[in-house]
Structure 1
C-alpha cells in the first residue's frame, strides 16, 4: 500500500515538473509572437541593432552561429535597416573577446567605426538585454541571433519594457539542433526564474555609454 502511494506521488510530481517546464517554454515562445523576422527585407527599420555574441570558432572550426549573426548584422546595416550596431558579448580574458572579434569583422565589411558600439560585459543574454537599456540607453532595438534565442531574448526585453524585435538567422538541424533546443528549454526555465523570482541583474553595469540618436556620419 505504501509503495503504491509513493509511486503515485512520484509519478504525479514528475508529471507536474514536466508540465511546468513545458508551460514556461510555451510562455516564452508566445511572448515573442509576431516580433521575429527571418528576412532582412521584411524587418522594420530600427536605429540600433543588438548583436548577441558567441565564439567565432569551435576548436579550429568556424562557428556557424557566429557567421550567420555577423552576416545578418552586416546586411541590416548595408540595407539601411539599422543605423548603428551594438555588439554585446563575453570579454572573459585577454585572448577571448567576443565584441572586439565582431567589430573586426564589421570593419572589414566597410561599416564605419563610429557606427559600432561595444558591450564587453554581455556575459549572458540577460546581461546583454539589461545593459543595452541601462548602460547604452537603448529602449528599442533589433536583435540579431538564432530563432530559438530570439524568443528568450524578447521575453527578457518585454519584462524590462524594451521595444524589441528580432532578426532570426539559421540554426543547425538534425541531432545538433535537437540538443541545442533541449538546452534552450532549460535556459528558458532559468530565464523565467531569474527575472520573476530571483531578480537577477547583470554582473556589471558601470557608467553610462549612451548611443547617440542623431546621424553619426554619412553613408
Structure 2
C-alpha cells in the first residue's frame, strides 16, 4: 500500500514537472521574437497595454516592478511608439486601485491624461489581454511589463487572435526576489495553459469602449 502511494506521488510529481517544462519551453519558443528591450527599435502601435502590479512591495516600499513599467510606458509614448496607454489592473476594493495609481504615475512622467485609458477589471493577465480586444477593440497591441510576464501575456494574446509585441521594462530587484518571482511565473504559465485549454473567460466583459483615432 505504501509503495503504491509513493509510486503515485512520484508519477504525479514527474508529470507536474514535465508539464511545467513543456509549457515554459513552448511559451519561450512562441514569443521570443516578439520581445523588445529598446524603445527605439520596437514598431509603433496605436495602443500599448500596461499591465498592472502593486505600487508597493511586500514590505510597503515602492515597487520597482511598478516604477520601471511606468517609466517604460512613458518612454514608449514620448517616442511616438504608442498613441494611447491602456492601463489595466486590479481594482477589487476601494483601498486597492492599480489603474488609478498607474494613471497618476504616467501623468507625473509626462503622458497626457487624455492619452491614458483605464481598465479597472484587469484582475489577471488573462482578463487584461482578452478585455483589450473584446472591450477596447484592440486587434494589435504593444504589451508593457517585465520579460517573463510579457512572454505569458504575448502567448495569451496570440491564443486570442491579437497581433501583439512587447517591450520589457528593466528588472531592478535583488536575487532572492527574482528567484521567487521566476518560480511564481513558471506556475502562472501552467495555469495560463490550462485556462487556454479549458476556455477560461475574464471575470467581467461588458459594453464596448471605443479608443478614438488620433
TM range (shorter): over 0.9
TM-score by length of 2: 0.93
Distance 1:17 1:138, change over 3 A: same
Secondary structure at the aligned position of 1:33 is classed as helix
Secondary structure at the aligned position of 2:41 is classed as coil
TM-score by length of 1: 0.91
Secondary structure at the aligned position of 2:127 is classed as helix
Superposed, which structure 2 residues align to 1:1-219 within 5 Å?
Answer: 10-58=9-57, 59-171=59-171, 172-197=173-198, 199-212=199-212, 214-215=213-214
Distance 1:162 1:4, change over 3 A: same
Distance 1:7 1:159, change over 3 A: same
1:151 positional shift: 0.7
Counterpart CA distance in 2 for 1:143 and 1:53 is 11
1:147-181 deviation digits (Å, cap 9, x = unpaired): 00011001100110100001011223512111111
1:105 positional shift: 1.5
Counterpart CA distance in 1 for 2:121 and 2:12 is 39
1:117 positional shift: 0.5
Report which of the two structures shows the higher radius of gyration computed on alpha carbons: 1
The farther-off stretch of 54-63 and 122-131 is: 54-63
Secondary structure at the aligned position of 2:32 is classed as coil
Counterpart CA distance in 2 for 1:13 and 1:188 is 18
Structure 2: gaps of 5 or more residues: none
| Consecutive aligned runs of 4 or more in structure 1 exceeding 3 Å deviation | 2-13
Secondary structure at the aligned position of 1:20 is classed as helix
Counterpart CA distance in 1 for 2:99 and 2:146 is 18
1:4 positional shift: 6.1
Superposed CA RMSD: 1.6
